[in-house]
Amino acid sequence: MEFQTRNDAGELKFFETFDAALGESAADNTVWKISFSLPTKERIRLVKIRRGGQPIWVYDPILSE
């Protein structure tokens, strides 16, 4: 499974584990999205919001046509 991050500059990075993608978001505060595909082919997108100064990852459905 491949995990993708995107930062505010639009830069994409790819990781083999969710933990590595999450680590990238900790190292780069501008990372706002982590996305990946499930074995069922469903695409998952998590976006970062801030609550009380702490980042929280929230599921953001990707609409398909």
> Would you list the domain boundaries of the chain?
3-59
Instruction: Enumerate helices (H) and strands (E) in the chain, giving the number of each.
Output: 1, 5
Residue 3's CB: how many other CB atoms inside 10 A? 21
Which pLDDT score is estimated for 61? 87
Each residue's pLDDT, cut to its tens digit, for the chain (65 residues) gives: 899 999 999 999 999 999 999 999 999 999 999 999 999 989 999 999 988 888 899 999 876 55
Which pLDDT score is estimated for 64? 59
> Are residues 25 and 34 in contact, defined by beta-carbon separation less than 8 angstroms?
yes
Which pLDDT score is estimated for 62? 79
What is the separation of C-alpha 28 from the centre of its chain, rounded to a whole number of angstroms? 12
